[in-house]
Amino acid sequence: MILIAGDSAYTLDAGLLSLQQQARSSMVRMTRELRNATSDNIPAGGAANVTFTTPTSAEIQYFRDANNLIRQSPPGTADTQQIMSNFASGLNFSKDLPTGLITIDLTTTNAVAGRVFSFPATGTFRGQVRPRNEP
CB atoms within 10 A of CB 107: 18
- What domain range includes position 14? 2-129
Residues in the chain: 135
Q: Is residue 116 part of a domain?
A: yes
User: Mean pLDDT, to the nearest integer, of 100-121?
Assistant: 84
**Quick one: pLDDT band at residue 9, thresholds 50, 70, 90?**
low
Q: Is residue 135 part of a domain?
A: no
Given a cut of 60, is residue 5 above it in pLDDT? Answer: no
Q: Is residue 54 part of a domain?
A: yes
For 12-59, write each residue's pLDDT tens digit: 566 678 788 889 999 999 999 999 988 888 888 889 999 998 888 889
Name the strand (E) or helix (H) holding 58: none
- Whether the full predicted model's pTM is greater than 0.75, yes or no, is yes
Helix (H, G, I), strand (E, B) or coil at 5: helix
For 116-131, write each residue's pLDDT tens digit: 888 777 778 999 999 9
CB atoms within 10 A of CB 52: 23
Q: Which pLDDT does position 1 carry in this prediction?
A: 55
Given a cut of 80, is residue 66 above it in pLDDT? Answer: yes
Q: Which pLDDT does position 62 carry in this prediction?
A: 95
Given a cut of 80, is residue 3 above it in pLDDT? Answer: no
Q: Which pLDDT does position 57 carry in this prediction?
A: 81
Q: Is residue 134 part of a domain?
A: no
DSSP 6: H
Q: Is residue 6 part of a domain?
A: yes
How many domains, the chain? Answer: 1
CB atoms within 10 A of CB 111: 10
Name the strand (E) or helix (H) holding 73: none
Q: Which pLDDT does position 64 carry in this prediction?
A: 94
User: Is residue 70 within 8 Å of residue 50, measured between CB atoms?
Assistant: no
User: Is residue 108 within 8 Å of residue 83, measured between CB atoms?
Assistant: no
Q: Is residue 112 part of a domain?
A: yes
Distance CA 130, CA 123 (A): 22
